[in-house]
Amino acid sequence: MSTPPRITTGGRLGQVDATQVPRFAGPATFARLPRIDEVSDVDVAVVGVPFDAGVSYRPGARFGPAHVRESSRLLRPYNPAVDVEPFARQQVVDAGDLAVNPFDIDAAIGQVEAGARALLERAGRIVTIGGDHTIALPILRAVAAQHGPVAVVHFDAHLDTWDTYFGAAHTHGTPFRRASEEGLLDRSGCLHVGTRGPLYSTQDLVDDRELGFQVVPSVEMDDLGVRGVVERIRERVGERPVYLSVDIDVLDPAFAPGTGTPEAGGLTSRELLAVLRAFGGLNLVGADVVEVAPAYDHAEVTGIAASHVVYEMLCALAPEEQA
């Protein structure tokens, strides 16, 4: 098999050249970037975690990584919204998928943590495509081992700080409670954005505050606007190391139907991407996008949104150009 022609900048191997290989052809990596075994030095690794045994409603997020990769074929090397060429400024690769136990949640969590730790020994940062939100806990364990407690900015329709479901401590609704309890979070810098919908009781919000989170609910989006939300994030996070976690259901189902627990009244794709662009000015140390369930998607609407979320994350991680 011949090696596909790639865009190369500053010695960094980039995307397959779309002027020579049509976007519907070529490798099935994220954004048609090189595999991790094709380069020697890695700055950022995109990795999939096809796991959804922690869901409480609609399953299918185990197929999310492949779906998001397929939806990423139209991503191009220059982002004019932030004037960044993310694949020229840093070596970005696709590290494939972590193989985790689909039947044993605790075993899977251990495997994700071990895989993330091993990958962080090779790459400076990782961006993870889920999978359900359970995977955020083991990834945070790996990230906190490097950076200490981190501020989490969590985009989601739901708090994900509940205690248990059916007696289970590890589900997609509990990762940030467990992370806070384990001391992985800087409780003075965490924030939810885009939460909405009914809760079980007012105690949910009381517990959430005690675990270290402030909330910018979806209902405030119209009043605050993108700039107001960005200001709230910057004020809360400051210079702390920050981990960015995006559940695709933060988007309204009109923009992301392919997810497991949809809630009406969410953000638009434009609003989410605009807010994410502010992370280029923060101390971003890792990120994930989760809960893409392609069985409920139509015309790749959700997959396309998620691929652009990952793209903005990679742009935010790109170092500033040297003068």
Is 182 within the bounds of a domain?
yes
Is 322 within the bounds of a domain?
no
Do the Cβ atoms of 179 and 145 come closer than 8 Å?
no
Do the Cβ atoms of 95 and 46 come closer than 8 Å?
yes
- Cα–Cα dist 276/282, whole Å: 11
pLDDT at residue 144 above 70?
A: yes
Do the Cβ atoms of 89 and 3 come closer than 8 Å?
no
pLDDT at residue 201 above 70?
A: yes
Is 232 within the bounds of a domain?
yes
Is 1 within the bounds of a domain?
no
Q: Which of 96, 97, 94, 95 is nearest to 52 (CA)?
A: 97
How many residues would you count in the chain? 323
The residue segments making up the domain with residue 189 are 6-317
Q: What are the residues whose beta carbons fall under 8 Å from the beta carbon of 200, sequence distance 6 or more?
A: 162
Q: CATH number for the domain including 108?
A: 3.40.800.10
Asked, as a colleague might, if the bond just before 54 is cis with ω within 30 of 0, I would say no
Is 101 within the bounds of a domain?
yes
DSSP output for 141-152? HHHHHHHSSBEE
How does residue 321 score in pLDDT terms, banded at 50, 70 and 90?
confident
Report pLDDT digits (tens) over 215-254. Answer: 999 999 999 999 999 999 999 999 999 999 999 999 999 9
pLDDT at 320: 85
Q: Which residue has the tokens 């049509």?
A: 22
Would you give the end-to-end CA distance of the chain in angstroms? Answer: 40
Report pLDDT digits (tens) over 63-96. Answer: 999 999 999 999 999 999 999 999 999 999 999 9
Question: What is the pLDDT averaged over residues 273-282?
Answer: 97
pLDDT at residue 1 above 70?
A: no
- As given in the structure block, the two tokens for residue 146 are 């490097």
Is 233 within the bounds of a domain?
yes
Task: Please give the mean pLDDT across all residues of the chain.
Answer: 96
- As given in the structure block, the two tokens for residue 80 are 């004019």
Is 235 within the bounds of a domain?
yes
Q: Which amino acid is at 321?
A: E
Q: How many domains does the chain have?
A: 1
Q: Which residue has the tokens 């997020």?
A: 61
Is 323 within the bounds of a domain?
no
- How far is residue 52 from each of residues 61, 79, 154, 157, 217, measured CA to CA in Å? 5, 32, 19, 18, 26
Do the Cβ atoms of 60 and 37 come closer than 8 Å?
no
